[in-house]
Amino acid sequence: AQSVSQHNHHVILSEAASLELGCNYSYGGTVNLFWYVQYPGQHLQLLLKYFSGDPLVKGIKGFEAEFIKSKFSFNLRKPSVQWSDTAEYFCAVNPTGTASKLTFGTGTRLQVTL
Amino acid sequence: EAGVTQFPSHSVIEKGQTVTLRCDPISGHDNLYWYRRVMGKEIKFLLHFVKESKQDESGMPNNRFLAERTGGTYSTLKVQPAELEDSGVYFCASSQARGYTGELFFGEGSRLTVL
């Protein structure tokens, strides 16, 4: 069975700082990779996803993530965070070619200070 | 377009009582999922409906949990009798059947507190 590790549980940054959130997965086959975000009081929403092709994917709100197959990693990055990026971020995977269940990491709570 | 809606947003019950959570998916979405997050831990898959059929219920913790999706529209998740360890946030998500894009559309969750 697959698993996802998010090593940063709580990150505090000042506005304009750069962000990188780690995500590593464990699975023997090929996977689809996702980052979801939950803003305070809102529902989970998709930030970006990787299925195949260019390993550097761009999502909404200036976020990007890089799939490094050799490291089983899919780290999320943003060059300059804003206060409005304060949220909880979840990395998730599912086996390629399926519409089946996602396996999530434990989430990273990001707090951006002014 | 209305999103996924869940009811209630928060429920507080005593151990041994019964609670029923409801999820209304986005209209036209055949796939419906239930997930659960226990405090501070990962969001875990419970089960997956395709229309009214259970496609995968491998994540259901035990037989105290019963999920239904009558007519392939809304779904309910009943916990009977509730135990302390059932406390958490229950998320519902839906997606289209065809042209799978990998995106699940989530509701805001139903927080269950068992005392």
Whether B26 has its CB under 8 Å from any CB of chain A: the answer is no
A56 to chain B nearest CA, in Å? 17
Residue B103 has pLDDT above 90, yes or no: no
Which residues of chain B does A103 touch, with a Cβ-Cβ cutoff of 8 Å? 42, 45
Stretch 24-83 of chain A: residues touching chain B, C-beta under 8 Å: 32, 34, 36, 41-46, 49, 51
Average pLDDT of chain B is: 92
pLDDT at A7 (0 to 100): 87
Number of neighbours of residue B101 by Cβ within 10 angstroms: 11
Residue A88 has pLDDT above 60, yes or no: yes
Whether B109 has its CB under 8 Å from any CB of chain A: the answer is yes
Nearest to B102 among A34, A90, A107 (CB): A34
Confidence of residue B97 (pLDDT cuts 50, 70, 90): low
Quick one: average pLDDT of B37-52? 92
Which residues of chain A does B42 touch, with a Cβ-Cβ cutoff of 8 Å? 4, 103-107
* Cis-peptide, bond into residue A95, ω within 30° of zero: no
pLDDT at B77 (0 to 100): 98
> pLDDT for A11-28, tens place per residue?
999 999 999 999 999 988
Confidence of residue B40 (pLDDT cuts 50, 70, 90): confident
Nearest to A43 among B31, B55, B108 (CB): B108
Specify the range with the lowest mean pLDDT, choosing from A20-24, B19-23, B83-87, B97-101: B97-101
Q: Which of B42, B46, B96 to mutate to test the interface with A (most CBs of A within 10 A)?
A: B42
CB contact under 8 A, A44 and B56: no
Distance of CA A57 to the CA centre of its chain: 11
Confidence of residue B98 (pLDDT cuts 50, 70, 90): low
User: Nearest residue on chain A to B98, judged by CA atoms?
Assistant: A99
Contacts of B75 (CB under 8 A, 6+ apart): B22, B23, B25, B32, B34, B49, B67, B68, B69, B92
Instruction: Determine phi and psi for B53, rounding to 5 degrees.
Output: -95, 140
pLDDT at A108 (0 to 100): 97
Nearest to B106 among A32, A43, A106 (CB): A43
Q: What is the DSSP string of A17-67?
A: --EEE--EEE-SS-EEEEEEEE-TTS-EEEEEEE-SS-SEEE-GGG-EEEE
Quick one: average pLDDT of B69-82? 94
**C-beta contacts of B41-47 below 8 A and 24+ residues apart:** B41/A106, B42/A4, B42/A103, B42/A104, B42/A105, B42/A106, B42/A107, B43/A44, B43/A90, B43/A92, B43/A102, B43/A104, B43/A107, B43/B91, B44/A104, B45/A101, B45/A102, B45/A103, B46/B77, B46/B90
Quick one: average pLDDT of A69-83? 96
- Write b or e for each residue in B12-40: b if 16 or more Cβ atoms lie within 10 A of its Cβ, otherwise e: ebeeeeebebbbbbbeebbbbbbbbbeee
Q: How many CB pairs under 8 A join A and B?
A: 55
Specify the range with the lowest mean pLDDT, choosing from A96-100, A108-112, B63-67: A96-100
